[in-house]
Amino acid sequence: MTVIEIARPSAGLPGAAPADPPSSLGGLERADGPWVVERIADRDGFAALRADWDGLLEGSASDGFFLTWEWLYTWWKHLGGDRRLALLAVRCGGELVAVAPLALGRSREWRPLPLRSLQLLGTGQVGSDYLDLIARAGAERPAAGALADYLGEQRALLELGQLPAERSAAALVAERLRERGWGELERTTHVCPFIDLAGESWESYVAALGSSHRANLRRRLRKLEARFDVRFERAHSEAEVAAAFEILVDLHHRRWQGRGGSDAFGGPAVVAFHRELVGLALRRGWLRLYVLRLDGRPAAALYGFLYRGRFLFYQAGFDPAFGDWSVGLVTMGLTIRAAIEEGAREYDLLHGDEDYKFLWANQSRELARLELYPPTAAGRLERPLRQAARALKARARGWRRRAEAALAARGDGGAA
């Protein structure tokens, strides 16, 4: 573990906004004490942060399920791969004030130059949304200064994905690094549809759906109840969760069999990650794992989390043998009803702009990717080269779409 001590967070270059005064540090008892950035490079050090992590996260503007210790530690344990842990813990007077959950690894994108890349834990295959740095409310700016001082010395490329586009703690660090001559690229990458459930009953929510979707949902529910013994069950015990998880994985693979497959539960490491996570989430009261049974037979399953009043729809599966009964649609509706009954104020369908999500949701948030390039020769070259490569890829996609459309039109004309 490397420890870097910073006497005070830097105010930045001349002309930059000064760090917030100690009086705004959210009740820190030793605002004038030393600021220390610890680099935690091993799993034992990560595990030792567990006791302080919950309180820090709850007291931050970044608070969200995908930033919990349980999600990120389990991700690192199973899916860290060949990355090197580079988790930064910021302390003021010994008190934990901020965490930058980072790892050093290779970019998933084409990179023209061999720059080291720091990425957020949770990035990649398992689809973590709303990733960010974590800072105590009221201490965001001085903590950002401390992190920028440390990161500025490392000179590694920062690739921060799945950030909330509207506001993030990472943006404050980016501001400080720009003052030090770092380059920046930011772009919107995903949209997360969500349902505002505040003040809603199941009846009022269904009444506000589009007329065709509302009629279809009611019709499908009536038909299922008329034809089958319908049971919609939530797994509560460890044994029930273990059984329901295996049903979920099986139904998910069945759903995608013959349709190109899905990597949501692809590979033993991803499955092991989720097996361990569901147990941790169950013990914290966050897990919501449901199975829809028709005449006792599992027809569909849905996997989500209820975290601080927000239901997060993570993954689902259904048996294609029941496809004509729209069991996926029915299961989604029943989980929204269950979330309302539990008092959830929001149902988040997470990233993806699939049409079916907007049958249920009429609002959305954007996720962004932030890249910060060090003021080195390699950093100054990497940014324009990467922009050019992306422009070429976008142009190639446009050419391909136009060619496919032209071929389809030619085929239609021949058939006529």
The model's pLDDT over 379-401, given as tens digits with 9 standing for 90+, comes to 777 766 666 665 677 677 678 77
> Which pLDDT does position 124 carry in this prediction?
84
Residue type, 27: G
In the CATH scheme, what architecture does the domain 199-344 have?
3-Layer(aba) Sandwich (3.40)
Residues 6+ away with beta carbon under 8 Å from 59: 26, 136, 137
Q: What are phi and psi of 371, to 5 degrees?
A: -120, 135
Is the Cβ–Cβ distance between 65 and 56 less than 8 Å?
no
Span 271-280, pLDDT tens digits:
999 999 999 9
What's this model's pTM, rounded to 2 decimal places?
Answer: 0.86
Q: How far is CA 135 from CA 70, 89, 97, 111, 173, in A?
A: 18, 10, 6, 31, 11
Mean pLDDT of 174-198: 96
Q: How far apart are CA 97 and CA 28, in angstroms?
A: 9
pLDDT at 135 over 80: yes
Dump pLDDT digits (tens) for 113-129: 667 899 999 998 898 99
Q: What is the mean pLDDT of residues 71-100?
A: 96
CATH 3.40.630.30 intervals, the chain: 2-191+367-399, 199-344
Superfamily classification of domain 2-191+367-399: Gcn5-related N-acetyltransferase (GNAT) (3.40.630.30)
